[in-house]
């Protein structure tokens, strides 16, 4: 379902008329672009029928003057010469509906991937098969089905110019009963946040359609004010944090929906993460928005780990502190300035919380203990990083000037630190969605998401955790060749005893002669200079780490000859 004239992004002002008790009232209707639907009446009627109708009804139907389109305002409130509405629908009123079709910006790019047209003789062809899912989920004691849907829109501009638009949407069906508008809005916002977290980009609600499963041909366009981010948040699917196909192949959707709708941290904490994907203004605000989320989450996740003194011990302890402070003050002849400082320190001491995790530092340490050592190493969020963001937080809270890592206006270090903090927060999001550390490492390793690429993560540790890269230790160091990072290499591997050797002869030949050979494919060239035996086979590695003599090198391209 799509219409170029309907979009949450479009600001619309249309002339309409309203018929009430045989009286025609002319007005202008404004809606769209995050605005509240507003009916501005040209001249307020003198009769009481109009006011009684608005007071006694939650809905008001009007008709556009230009096309005679029916538009209904729902949840109306009378203002000063205008009527405000919570919702707006276009089309003939539906008595009831139990299905919603939701269009999110960026969703089609994420699902569609990198397919394109190919020429096959005298035909242009394109694979339009789509991986779909249909999963049940529950939210606020109601049961639903979530399904992906697919549309193709063809636009023929001339005999020599046309384009196709591939549109993926989400369809939500209520298992029992019918939808309320408030329910539609809440589910739309929840799914927008979920898919924003999965893609790592702030998506927006672009269109909502409502209809009944019994009569899908009759539908209405639904509008409500909703925050709007970039219209095209995702340019390519690989800019997302994770790959849609991998979620389908791994049968992840049932678990994702169950975790997301069953855990209130996604509504109380992680919904704050979506706006922080983009720039919020001053760079300090960008970092602070993420620091605040870390602090809130750390407080929630470590709440059950807090220890307290018993009431008796805590009372006696605070009493002893108070007596000690009073005794010290009485034994010193403090100046007026010293007394001001002393009283401030005393107040801070006596305000000490009865907990084993009194500050962000302790909560953060307890939170990080939930991650494995390898995963923490991969994310590379160090104690120095924490101290830096804490200093920024404290400086802002106390009105002090934050001392940047670099002199002048260079904030590149702070921006990288901010992205690394965002990556850390995304780790906790994905863990709460049911992913393992290895799966998250694989997502980060493959993603070209800007904040992941800018975070300066430990790629070697990500490669190791993801399991997608081979780590090899040579049985014997090479005699003549010195291994260098990124060089292509040829390796001999014994299937019988598992030993590894560098094939120095072919590796040297490869470096010197391959590009002059005219053979474009690496494996074809290897086979042209190497006599393959019956019991041998080849394996190509896109990436490998090779350790020799205690030194490890990273290689993009390695051919293994298995004996």
pLDDT, mean over the chain: 89
Contact indicator for 483, 489 with CB cutoff of 8 Å: yes
Q: Which residues contact 276 (CB under 8 A, 6 or more apart)?
A: 286, 289, 290, 293, 422
Task: Choose the weakest-confidence range: 172-176, 198-202, 481-485.
Answer: 481-485
Beta-strand relationship, 205-212 and 99-104: antiparallel
Contact indicator for 517, 526 with CB cutoff of 8 Å: no
Tell me the pLDDT tens digit for each residue of 135-163. Answer: 999 999 999 999 999 888 888 888 888 88
DSSP 483: P
Half-sphere exposure of 554 (CA within 13 A, CB side): 6
Confidence of residue 352 (pLDDT cuts 50, 70, 90): confident
- For the chain, the domains span 4-91, 99-262, 275-303+358-466, 311-351, 470-562
Confidence of residue 398 (pLDDT cuts 50, 70, 90): low
Rounded CA separation 444/424 (Å): 11
pLDDT(79) > 90? no
417-433 mean pLDDT: 97
Helix segments in 447-493, DSSP class H: 450-453, 459-466
Confidence of residue 463 (pLDDT cuts 50, 70, 90): very high
Contact indicator for 357, 366 with CB cutoff of 8 Å: yes
pLDDT(2) > 70? no
Q: What is the CATH number of domain 4-91?
A: 2.30.110
Q: What is Dmax (Cα atoms) for the chain?
A: 102
The total of other beta-carbon atoms located within 10 Å of residue 172's CB is 22
Considering only residues 216 and 111, tell me which one the structure prediction assigns the higher pLDDT. 111
Per-residue pLDDT, 4: 58
pLDDT(22) > 80? no
pLDDT(30) > 90? yes
- Which phi and psi (to 5°) does residue 359 adopt? -130, 170
Per-residue pLDDT, 39: 94
DSSP SS3 for 541: strand
312's tokens: 């008796």
What is this structure's pTM?
Answer: 0.87
Residues of the chain with pLDDT > 70, as a percent, come to 95
218-230 mean pLDDT: 94
Which residue in the block uniquely carries the two structure tokens 């921006």?
415
pLDDT(399) > 80? no
Contact indicator for 85, 37 with CB cutoff of 8 Å: yes
């Amino acid at each position: 379902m799509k219409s170029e004239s309907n979009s949450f992004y479009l600001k619309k002002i249309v002339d309409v008329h309203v018929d009430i008790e045989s009286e025609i009232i002319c007005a202008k209707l404004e809606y769209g672009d995050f605005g509240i639907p507003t009916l501005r009446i040209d001249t307020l009627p003198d009769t009481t029928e109009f006011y009684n109708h608005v007071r006694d009804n939650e809905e008001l139907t009007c008709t556009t003057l230009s096309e005679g389109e029916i538009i209904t305002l729902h949840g109306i409130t009378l203002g000063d010469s205008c009527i405000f509405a919570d919702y707006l629908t276009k089309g003939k009123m539906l008595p009831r509906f139990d299905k919603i079709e939701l269009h999110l910006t960026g969703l089609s790019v994420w699902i569609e991937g990198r397919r394109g047209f190919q020429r096959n003789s005298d035909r242009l062809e394109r694979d339009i098969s789509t991986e779909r899912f249909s999963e049940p989920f529950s939210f606020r004691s109601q049961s639903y089905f979530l399904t992906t849907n697919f549309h193709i829109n063809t636009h023929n501009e001339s005999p020599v110019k046309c384009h196709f638009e591939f549109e993926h949407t989400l369809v939500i069906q209520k298992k029992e009963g019918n939808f309320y508008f408030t329910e539609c809005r809440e589910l739309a916002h929840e799914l927008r946040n979920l898919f924003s977290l999965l893609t790592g980009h702030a998506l927006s609600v672009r269109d909502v359609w409502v209809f009944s499963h019994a009569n899908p041909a009759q539908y209405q366009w639904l509008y409500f004010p909703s925050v709007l981010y970039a219209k095209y948040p995702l340019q390519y699917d690989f800019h997302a944090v994770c790959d849609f196909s991998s979620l389908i192949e791994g049968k992840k959707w049932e678990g994702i929906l169950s975790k997301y709708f069953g855990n209130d941290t996604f509504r109380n904490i992680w919904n704050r993460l979506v706006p922080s994907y983009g720039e919020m203004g001053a760079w300090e605000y960008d970092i602070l928005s993420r620091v605040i989320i870390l602090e809130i989450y750390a407080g929630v996740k470590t709440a059950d780990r807090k220890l307290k003194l018993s009431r008796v011990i805590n009372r006696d302890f605070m009493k002893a502190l108070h007596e000690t402070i009073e005794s010290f003050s009485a034994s010193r002849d403090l100046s007026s300035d010293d007394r001001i400082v002393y009283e401030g320190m005393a107040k801070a001491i006596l305000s000490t919380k009865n907990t084993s995790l009194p500050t962000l530092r302790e909560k953060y340490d307890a939170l990080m203990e939930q991650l494995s050592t390898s995963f923490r190493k991969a994310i590379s969020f160090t104690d120095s990083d924490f101290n830096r963001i804490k200093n920024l937080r404290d400086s802002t809270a106390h009105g002090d000037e934050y001392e940047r890592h670099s002199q002048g206006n260079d904030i590149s270090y702070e921006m990288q630190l901010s992205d690394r903090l965002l990556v850390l927060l995304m780790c906790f999001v994905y863990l709460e969605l049911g992913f393992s550390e290895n799966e998250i490492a694989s997502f980060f390793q493959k993603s070209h998401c800007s904040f992941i690429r800018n975070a300066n993560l430990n790629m070697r540790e990500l490669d190791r955790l993801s399991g997608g890269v081979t780590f090899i230790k040579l049985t014997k160091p090479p005699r003549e060749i010195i291994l260098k990072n990124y060089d292509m290499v040829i390796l001999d591997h014994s299937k019988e005893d598992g030993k590894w050797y560098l094939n120095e002869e072919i590796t040297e030949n490869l470096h010197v002669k391959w590009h002059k050979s005219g053979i474009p494919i690496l494996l074809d060239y290897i086979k042209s200079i190497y006599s393959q035996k019956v019991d041998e086979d080849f394996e190509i590695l896109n990436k490998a780490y090779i350790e020799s003599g205690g030194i490890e090198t990273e290689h993009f391209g390695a051919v293994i000859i298995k004996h």
